[in-house]
């Protein structure tokens, strides 16, 4: 994904400050807040970020559960390419670093005008999404197994 985006960002038809911008962040800085309107895709250039979701335990009791960590060359916010909708998770800096924020509408228009780049971009994005889905499925299985062990389900069978 890094190489594809690097080529797109270098294209004069996809100008910095109009279609994308580089942004530095600091440890503990919130990059994206769950529930905010989203319209940008991000790629991490350096540093580490934590993706987390707000989980309601009981009425008025919430925790911010970590879902996964992002590192150099990871992409997030890709839903912005399809629609401007509320963010489904929060992203907070674990370390100082930099990222590139890409305007979703500008990228979508660019990819429509450059179908070869669009094909390569979406092919790689599909691979990223499949990897995330596989990781999520594995975590759900692990949590399910943990829940069975905690509740000692074998005693009830």
CA dist 94 to 26, 50, 66, 106, Å?
A: 8, 6, 12, 29
Residue ranges per domain, the chain?
Answer: 2-156
112 or 87, which is more confident:
112
pLDDT in tens, 8-38: 999 999 999 999 999 999 999 999 998 888 8
Between 6-10, 35-39, 68-72, the lowest mean confidence (pLDDT) is in 35-39
The average pLDDT across 125-144 equals: 83
Predicted structure pTM score: 0.80
CATH superfamily of this structure's domain 2-156: Jelly Rolls (2.60.120.10)
């Amino acid at each position: 994904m890094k190489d594809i985006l690097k080529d797109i960002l270098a294209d004069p038809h996809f100008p910095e400050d109009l279609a994308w911008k580089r942004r530095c962040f600091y440890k503990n800085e919130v990059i994206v807040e769950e529930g905010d309107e989203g319209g940008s895709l991000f790629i991490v250039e350096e540093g580490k970020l934590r993706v987390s979701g707000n989980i309601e335990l009981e009425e008025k009791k919430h925790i911010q559960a970590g879902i996964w960590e992002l590192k150099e060359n990871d992409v997030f916010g890709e839903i912005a390419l399809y629609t401007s909708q509320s963010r489904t998770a929060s992203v907070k800096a674990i370390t100082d670093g930099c990222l590139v924020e890409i305007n979703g509408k500008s990228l979508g228009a660019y990819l429509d005008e450059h179908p070869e780049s669009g094909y390569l971009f979406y092919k790689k994005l599909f691979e990223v999404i499949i990897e995330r889905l596989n990781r999520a499925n594995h975590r759900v299985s692990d949590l399910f197994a943990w829940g069975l062990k905690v509740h000692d389900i074998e005693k009830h069978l």
